[in-house]
Structure 1
Amino acid sequence: MERIIDFKTTCNDNEKTVEAFLKEHGFTHQVLVNLKKTNNGITRNGVWAYTNEKISAGDKISVHIVENCNSDNILPIKIPLDIAYEDDDLIVINKPAGMPAHPSMGNHDNSLANALMYYFNSQGLSFVFRCINRLDRDTTGLTIVAKHALASGILGKAVARRDIHRTYYAVCSGHTPDCGRIDAPIARKSDSAIERCVDFDKGEYAITDYTRLKYNPDKNLSLVQLKLLTGRTHQIRVHMKYIGFPLIGDFLYNPDYTYMDRQALHSGRLEFIHPVTGKKMDLISDIPSDMKSLFKLV
C-alpha cells in the first residue's frame, strides 16, 4: 500500500520545522520514524527533507507512506462486502449481522478482517486491519477501517476526543419514554469475561441519549434512535436494559428471540472529519429490513 500526501505551507508556518508542521497535521512519532526510513518519505519542494529543517510559506511538503506488510494470522477469505464509502485513506463497510470484526476462537474465517484481507490482497495490495469503531458480531451497520497508520492515528484520536458522532437504531422491549438521557457508569461484570453492567462504584463514565421513533402496541416494541456520547463496550445494550427496555434478541442481556434471532442494533450514521482531507463526512445506512418489518416500515 502506497499513499502520497501533499501539503502547502502558509505564512503561519514560517520558521516551523518539518516535524512540527507534520505533527500539527496528526503525524505521530512512530509514523514520522517510518517516513524517515522510507525512500523520499518526506520531501520539501521535491527534495528529500530532514525533519528539523525550517519551512517557509509556499513550501510543498510531501510525504510518501509505504506499507508492505499484512496483518498476522488473518486469512484472506472471499466474503461479499457492502462498501458505503472508500478512498485512499479509509474504507467504510456496512457490516451485516453475524460477522465479527476480528478473527477469534471459532471465528477464524468469517470476520470483517478476513473479508477485507481478501478484498485488498486480490488487488495486489497489502493490508493491516485497523478498525476504528468496532461493532459487535450481530450489530449491523457502518464501521470505519483505516487504510494506513496516519489515518488510523488521527481517527483514533478523534474517537478519544469523541469527535466521531455515532447514531444507532435499536428495537427495545416495552414502551419507552419519548426521549431521555442515560447517565450510568459501566464496568465488567465480576463473574463474566464479556458481560458488562452498570456499576456506580467501579464503572467508567457512560452517557447515551435516546429518542423513540415508533411504537408497536401489538408486539409491545419500541424503535429508538440512540446517540453515544461515550464509547463503552456494550454501552447501548447495557444502558437500555438498565432502564428497563432491553434490546430484543440479545443473547447476553435479553435472550428473547420471539421476533429476532440477533440483537436488534444498527449503526445507522457516522459523522466525522476526514483524517487527511479535512472534509466533513456524513455517512448513512438504512435500518435493516428485519428491524423495520416489526414496525411495518418495509
Structure 2
Amino acid sequence: MDSVRKGNELAITIPQKWDKCTVDDIFKEKWKTPKKMLHELRMSKNVKVDGQEIPWNLPLLTGQSLSFPAFESKLPASIIPADLEIDIIYEDDFLLIANKPSGLETHPSTAGHTNTLLNAVAYYLTQSGQQGYIKHIHRLDKDTTGAVLFAKAKLVGSMLDKMLEEREIKRTYAALVEGIIAQPQGTINEKIGRDRHHATRRRVSPGGQSAITHYKAVHTFPKENMTLITCQLESGRTHQIRVHLSHIGHPLMGDILYGGPSKFKRQALHALKIEFIHPITEEPIEVAAPFLDNPSIFPSQILEG
C-alpha cells in the first residue's frame, strides 16, 4: 500500500480494493482502531481526504489521499532514554525491531528503572531525531536474547497488538536443551500457572493458562548430551518455552531455575526470527536476529544451513 509520513501525519493513497470504502470503514473495519483513539481522531477534525475534511460516511475513490495525525512529537514522560548498547535490525516510519542482548529487561518494571531495552530504544530514537511514541509489542525474559518488535505510532501499536493476539505475528526461537530429543518434532500442549512455592517460577498446572509450544530438532550433540531445536508458540505465557521443555525432561542448557545444567551463564534461548505482514504497507516482513553471545553459545552455521 502506498503510504508516506509527512511530519506527524500519515498519508495513505486509497488502493483499488478500498474503492467505495468510507473513512469510517477504514478506521473501524480495516484497522480495528480502538474506540478512544477513534473518538480522538474524530474530535481533532484533522482527518482529511485530498486535503479537505469530509463526512466519515462518504465513499472514497481509488487514488484519493487519506491523511490524519498518526505520530507523536515527543516521547512519553515516563520513558527515560538510556545510552545502552543495542542493535536495531529493522526500522521504518511505523515500527522497529531491536536485537535484545542478555541482561536487559524488555521494559521498566518500576518507576525510574532505566536499564531496559525500551529505554535503550528511546535513546536510539532521540539520537536519530525521532522524538515520538514507542511501545514494545511483546517481551523476552531478561537473559533471553533476540528480536523484539516495537511500534512507533499508537495506531500501529494497536494493530500489532491485535495481530499478536490473533497469531498473525510468527516468532521462531532457537534453543539448546539438555539430552537427545527422541522425536524430531512435536507439540507441547500444557497449561502454565504460577508456582506458589517460588515467586518467579512458573509450572505446568491444570488450573493455569493454555499454552502451546511447537518444537523441531535441528541437530544433536551426543558428546555434550544436548539438542539444538527451534520453537514456535501459539501463546505467549511467561517462561513458556522454559517451562514446557523442562516439563518434558529437556530443560534449556544454562537454565538453572528450571533444572537445566549450568553449562552457560544464561539459558540458551534466542528469539531468532520474526515474520508478519506490515500493518500499514501490507508488505511481508521477515527479520532474523544475529546471535549476540561472545563467544557464541549457539552453532550459527547449523541454523544458517
d(CA) in 1 for partners of 2:254, 2:112: 20
Shift in alpha-carbon separation, 1:107–1:238, aligned structure 2, 3 A: farther
d(CA) in 2 for partners of 1:8, 1:149: 21
Secondary structure class of the residue paired with 1:262: coil
Q: How far 1:172 moved relative to its partner?
A: 0.6
Given the alignment of the two structures, is residue 169 of structure 1 paired with residue 171 of structure 2, yes or no? no
Q: How far 1:45 moved relative to its partner?
A: 1.8
Q: Who is 1:275 aligned against?
A: 279
Q: How far 1:13 moved relative to its partner?
A: 4.3
5+ residue gaps, structure 1, are none
Confirm or deny: 8 A CA contact 1:9 1:61 kept in the other structure: no
Q: Who is 2:67 aligned against?
A: 62
Q: How far 1:4 moved relative to its partner?
A: 1.4
Superposition map of 1:1-298 within 5 A? 2-8=8-14, 10=16, 13-14=19-20, 16-26=21-31, 27-38=33-44, 41-51=46-56, 53-58=57-62, 59-104=64-109, 108-177=113-182, 178-200=184-206, 202-254=207-259, 256-257=261-262, 259-288=263-292, 290-292=296-298
Q: Who is 2:3 aligned against?
A: none
Confirm or deny: 8 A CA contact 2:11 2:65 kept in the other structure: no
Matched residue count: 293
Shift in alpha-carbon separation, 1:294–1:157, aligned structure 2, 3 A: closer
Confirm or deny: 8 A CA contact 2:179 2:225 kept in the other structure: yes
Q: How far 1:10 moved relative to its partner?
A: 4.3
d(CA) in 1 for partners of 2:276, 2:299: 30
Q: How far 1:47 moved relative to its partner?
A: 0.5
Q: How far 1:17 moved relative to its partner?
A: 3.7
Counterpart residue type for residue 8 of structure 2? E
d(CA) in 1 for partners of 2:280, 2:303: 38
d(CA) in 2 for partners of 1:29, 1:68: 22
Confirm or deny: 8 A CA contact 1:211 1:226 kept in the other structure: yes
5+ residue gaps, structure 2, are 1-6
d(CA) in 2 for partners of 1:22, 1:106: 34
Shift in alpha-carbon separation, 1:67–1:186, aligned structure 2, 3 A: same
d(CA) in 2 for partners of 1:4, 1:271: 24
Summarize deviations over 1:45-88 as a string: whole Å, max 9, x none.
Answer: 2102343x412323332222241342343321112221110000
Counterpart residue type for residue 117 of structure 1? A
Q: How far 1:123 moved relative to its partner?
A: 3.3
d(CA) in 2 for partners of 1:254, 1:32: 48
Shift in alpha-carbon separation, 1:239–1:84, aligned structure 2, 3 A: same
Confirm or deny: 8 A CA contact 1:183 1:208 kept in the other structure: yes
What is the TM-score of this pair, normalised by structure 1?
Answer: 0.89
Q: How far 1:254 moved relative to its partner?
A: 2.5
- What's the C-alpha RMSD, in Å, of the aligned pairs? 2.6
Deviates more, 1:67-76 or 1:173-182: 67-76
Shift in alpha-carbon separation, 1:189–1:46, aligned structure 2, 3 A: same
What is the TM-score of this pair, normalised by structure 2?
Answer: 0.87
Confirm or deny: 8 A CA contact 2:71 2:133 kept in the other structure: no
Identical columns (%): 34
Secondary structure class of the residue paired with 2:188: strand
Summarize deviations over 1:203-226 as a string: whole Å, max 9, x none.
Answer: 222111111112222221111111
Confirm or deny: 8 A CA contact 1:140 1:265 kept in the other structure: yes
